[in-house]
Structure 1
Amino acid sequence: MGAMIMALVVRYGLVMLFMPFSALDKIFNFEGALKQCGQIFKPKALAAIILLCGLGIEVFCTIGVVTGVADRACALILAGYCAATAVLYKQFWAQGDFWANPDGKGRTLFWDFLKNLSLGAGFLLIVVGTDGQGLAPFLAHPLASSHPYGVHP
């Protein structure tokens, strides 16, 4: 029972940035989120579609990771989402002050960039597992559960 609770706590710790916080922020501050997304994606309709896709990923994939339903596939999508948001929204290299100002925006974005990539790496641990089998179980059955709570059908 303790291992099941620990697995639940760890998995929720991985996703809690997205669900509920980021997902609710997108819902309650849709215009602000749309404005931020619109800085990267134009026209506004494309930004809205991208934003809604992100919201869907944040809701459905986090539920998959926590419940264990298609959790490896959900974790892979979330890892890609973390990498994409790092590259699109944490562009530390574009600020021009990375080397010149230790307190500048470039340094702040650099740490956020690394945090996004690190979170994505945590999701990849769900995809590949820690049992030494690597990608084989995922590739054999991409939508199967990894059975994080020891419950097998």
Structure 2
Amino acid sequence: MLTLSVAVAFLVRLMLVLLFLPFSALDKIVNFRGAVGQAREAVHATAPAVVLILIGLCVEIGMSLCILTGYFDRAAAFVLAGYCGVTALLWKQFWAPGDFWAGGKGRELFWDFLKNFALAGGFLLITFGTGAGTVESFLANPLASSNPYAVAAPRP
């Protein structure tokens, strides 16, 4: 049962980060020019766009590995939650096309926008836990691990 518990904990975390590691990170590496082009839509200059993509690459790889390994996982999940929110605001601007009610690009972006925030919510569950009492422990020690692979001894 111990092996099953650890496997489930790992698979849940893997499902959360799978979008970033390996897929989004690999896409940024293989299609770096295209990623920079997309970033230029937000910053309108090549140098800052390159910096944004490199930062994004580091966040996607580094924070995902922290979440999977359990080292600094709460802080890493907090960073990825913010990353999801920022990318939604910068690149999923459903309000910009002005065709939301006509079912055009705005409506497609709306669902992507909501998915980003739903994913951020999943990361915040790692950050803060599932109960109100766990928020204070994160605020008191934000770099502490949530010890995701520790199994409590059964109660007598």
Could you tell me the TM-score, scaled by structure 2's length?
0.92
> How do 1:108-123 residues align onto structure 2 when only pairs under 5 Å count?
108-123=108-123
| Structure 2 unpaired stretches of 5+ | none
Q: Deviations over 1:102-122 (max 9, x none)?
A: 2x1011000000000000000
2:25 is aligned to 23
Opposite residue 141 of structure 2, the aligned amino acid is H
Give runs of ≥4 in structure 1 deviating > 4 Å.
none
Aligned-pair identity in percent equals: 53
Mapped to 2, the partners of 1:148 and 1:131 lie a distance apart of 16
SS in 1 for 2:119: helix
| Structure 1 unpaired stretches of 5+ | none
CA RMSD of aligned residues (A): 1.3
> How do 1:75-114 residues align onto structure 2 when only pairs under 5 Å count?
75-99=77-101, 101-102=102-103, 104-114=104-114
Tell me which moved more, 38-47 or 55-64.
38-47
Tell me which moved more, 142-151 or 127-136.
127-136
Opposite residue 117 of structure 1, the aligned amino acid is F
1:143 is aligned to 143
Shift of 1:43: 2.1
2:124 is aligned to 124
Shift of 1:42: 3.0
